[in-house]
Amino acid sequence: MPTETAPAVTTDGRSSASEKTLLVLSAVMTHPRFTDVVEATGLAKATTHRILSTLVDRGFVSVGPDGTYLPGPTILSLAGRALQRIDISTIAQPIVDDLVAQVQCTVHVGVANGDEIIYLIRADSDKPYQMPSRVGLAIPMHSSGIGKVVLSGYTDEGLARYAARTGLPPRTEHTVRDLDALRAAVAAVRERGYAEDDEENVPGVRCVAAPVRDHTGTIKYGVSISTLTLEHTAEQVAAMAPFAIEAAEKISAALGHTT
């Protein structure tokens, strides 16, 4: 029989009991069977059963016909309200500001909207120039770094439908123009964990972008670091990819994504 984990150091027993309740609630969201919840929490069976009974009574947990545990109506309602209040711009802004300070380049956060990417955030460094972009600007997915990281979450059939719908119109002479090239670009994103845009959307501008995942693990957003080709080589921009990935992972975690 599992033994209970050592309680937190508190001035009374209430915080310790609260932590055990939260421990069980977290475990039951990903472990539907009682024995799995016991193993995940490390609590005694009697303690786990008592907490689960309370969670069921309060609607945080439901019991299915086969005896497995499911999210209850109370927690589903709370989750729905919380998701409605999520503002990625507010969540991401301090992370973006830190990234700008690290790389001294323009940073964008964009969201997928149909077959386009919409810029939600643009933060500039103190360089004497600015990127030809603005919050609210819509750009094609296939010609942008953020768009490519979103497309990396598509199935092969999804990529084919995207190409058929849009026709992959060129923005510059470097833009991906056919489905095979798009598939190759997306495969590179999946392998490396980031996308590159080397003058594919705007002449004289290159960027590196990383995927941002929501609480379901879906790639709906992206973070990009943009600069002028006159200032940074393609190799120098690619070297900034770890910074973009780290920022994207922080935003993903703030949106509820867990690895």
Domain ranges of the chain: 14-84, 88-254
Per-residue pLDDT reduced to its tens digit, 14-60: 458 888 899 999 888 888 899 899 998 889 889 999 999 999 998 88
> Taking residues 121-146, what's their average pLDDT?
89
* Per-residue pLDDT at 9 exceeds 60: no
Q: What is the sign, positive or negative, of the torsion defined by CA atoms of 139, 242, 214, 179?
A: positive
| 14-84 to CATH, choices 3.40.1390.10, 1.10.10.10, 3.40.190.10, 3.40.50.280 | 1.10.10.10
CB 87 within 8 A of CB 72: no
Residue with tokens 């600007």: 137
> Taking residues 239-248, what's their average pLDDT?
97
β-strand 106-113 against 138-140: which pairing, if any?
unpaired
* Per-residue pLDDT at 83 exceeds 80: no
**pLDDT at position 66, please?**
85
Grouping H, G, I as helix, E, B as strand and the rest as coil, residue 110 is strand
Grouping H, G, I as helix, E, B as strand and the rest as coil, residue 167 is coil
| 88-254 to CATH, choices 3.30.450.40, 3.30.1370.160, 3.30.420.40, 2.60.120.200 | 3.30.450.40
Per-residue pLDDT reduced to its tens digit, 101-112: 999 999 999 999
CB 223 within 8 A of CB 107: yes
**pLDDT at position 12, please?**
43
